[in-house]
Amino acid sequence: MPLTVAETLRIGRAFPNVEETTSWGAPALKVCGQLMACVPTNKAAEPNSFLIRMDRRERPALLAEAPDLYYAPDHYLGYDGVLVRLARCSPELMHDLLAMAHNFVSRKRAARPGKRNRSYPHR
| pLDDT score for 108 | 76
Coil, helix or strand for 7? helix
> Which residue blocks in the chain are alpha helix, DSSP H?
5-13, 59-65, 91-110
Asked whether the beta carbons of 84 and 72 are under 8 A apart, the reply is no
Please name each of the domains of the chain with its CATH number: 5-110 (3.90.1150.30)
Residues 11-15 have a mean pLDDT of 97
Angle, CA of 67, 14 and 43, to the nearest 5°: 40
Q: Is the pLDDT of residue 17 over 60?
A: yes
Cα gap 81→93, rounded to integer Å: 16
Closest residue by Cα to residue 35 from 56, 14, 12, 58: 12
pLDDT confidence of 113, banded at 50, 70, 90? Answer: low
pTM for the whole structure: 0.87
Tell me the pLDDT of the chain averaged across its residues.
Answer: 90
Q: Is the pLDDT of residue 82 over 50?
A: yes
Residues 74-95 have a mean pLDDT of 97
**pLDDT tens, residue by residue, 47-66:** 999 999 999 999 999 999 99
